[in-house]
Amino acid sequence: MRLPPASVLASWPTPNYDHPITRGPAGKIVAITLTVLVALILVMRVYTRLRVVRSFGLDDILILIAFFPSVALTVCSIYSEFELGWDVHVWDLPFTKYSPSSQMSLVTFVLFDISSNLVKLSTLAMLYRLVHTTESRLTVIVVSIAVFVVVSGLLFMFITIFQCSPVSDYWTLSSQPQKCIDEAAHLLVAGTINTVTDFAIVVLPIKMTAALQLPRRQHIILYALFCTGFCACAAGCVRTYYTWILTTKYDKTWYGWTVWISSVIELYLGIVS
């Protein structure tokens, strides 16, 4: 991790380690509340699929697996807010916390990649189950998107982990140039592709379900789920924007707060949509 230039360090205010300005408790409250609500919704989903519908598919398995890295990301982020200053300005953060903060940042990026791709694959598995026997064109589209999600997800995860050579340079403080890729460009491309695929996966089933002869109540439920999916896409847009800000500004802990809370919201809304 490259230290800011001396001119930037000199422009920072006097550190306030004892009573720094913080983001407040809102992020933790939202994250914990969403975790509990999503856990309850998943329990209801599993019960319905096993006891009522008596059909537990690949989409259910994938969404359950996706929940665990989402919770891990939430726990890591809340821990980092308490212990690593993820809700304060960087000039109020002791230098001893810079490296562990960067290590945790790398962990959360990987957890987000894992969870977001599992959520996408769960939705695509559900769509495949619905169309593979009747809609050959839609089946090809669904499978193509799934392959793209897997390949791009693995590629971006690999780049995230090995963006510096050696890997430890990512969290090692240095005033000298390091062998790292342009993280801002990498995360902007990854975030943009993530958001575009989110929108594609939400839009894909709308036309299909609109043609179904369903009771009005079920149509309302379906469109409510689509609205939740679009809200997850909106959170993804926010996350992509603030990730770009995070990687182009020096006040990383302050802007990083918005990244982690929007990541949590995007993942949990995606799980229930």
Q: Crossing angle for the helix pair 98-131 and 136-161, nearest 10 degrees? A: 170
Residue 166 preceded by cis peptide, ω within 30: yes
Give 175 or 232, the one with higher predicted confidence. 232
CATH architecture of 24-272: Up-down Bundle (1.20)
Does position 70 have pLDDT exceeding 80, yes or no? yes
**Which of 190, 41, 37 is closest to 117 using CA atoms?**
190
Please give the biggest Cα pair distance in the chain: 67
pLDDT digits 0-9 by tens, 103-155: 999 999 999 999 999 999 999 998 898 888 777 888 999 999 999 999 999 99
Give me the helices (H) in 91-212, please. 98-131, 136-161, 183-210
Q: Which residues contact 107 (CB under 8 A, 6 or more apart)?
A: 76
DSSP letters, 229-258, are HHHHHHHHHHHHHHHHHHHHSS-HHHHHHH
pLDDT for position 223: 81
Q: Which residues contact 97 (CB under 8 A, 6 or more apart)?
A: 83, 84, 85
- Asked if 163 and 94 count as a contact pair (C-beta separation under 8 A), the reply is no
pLDDT for position 212: 65
pTM value > 0.85: yes
pLDDT for position 211: 64
What mean pLDDT do residues 5-11 have?
A: 87
- Asked if 202 and 229 count as a contact pair (C-beta separation under 8 A), the reply is yes
What mean pLDDT do residues 30-43 have?
A: 97
Mean pLDDT of the chain: 92
**Which of 119, 113, 89 is closest to 101 using CA atoms?**
89
Determine how many CB atoms are found less than 10 A away from the CB of residue 273: 20
In the chain, where are the structural domains located?
24-272
pLDDT digits 0-9 by tens, 148-182: 999 999 999 999 999 999 999 999 988 777 899 99
